Amino acid sequence: MAALVSSAILSLRLLVLTGLLMAPVGAVAYSKATGAGVGKHGAGLVLFVTLQRQAMS
């Protein structure tokens, strides 16, 4: 019984550690999938055009 409890605690720790390490990757992937970044309208469009002009010169 003690081995089962010890194994369960170890598995839970591993699950928590994996979740903490994978959360930022999941957040970035979700952000890219939903298009929550800077859009190409308003200030985003101005920034995009400015950066494109600087890259061309």
Query: How many other CB atoms are found less than 10 A from the CB of residue 57?
Result: 4
pLDDT of the chain along its 57 residues, tens only?
899 999 999 999 999 999 999 998 888 888 777 765 556 667 778 888 888 888 887
- pLDDT on residue 35: 64
The encoded tokens of residue 33 equal: 């999938």
- pLDDT on residue 47: 85
- pLDDT on residue 5: 94
d(CA 10, CA 22): 18
- pLDDT on residue 26: 87
d(CA 28, CA 33): 9
What is the pTM for the complete model shown? 0.48
d(CA 47, CA 37): 13
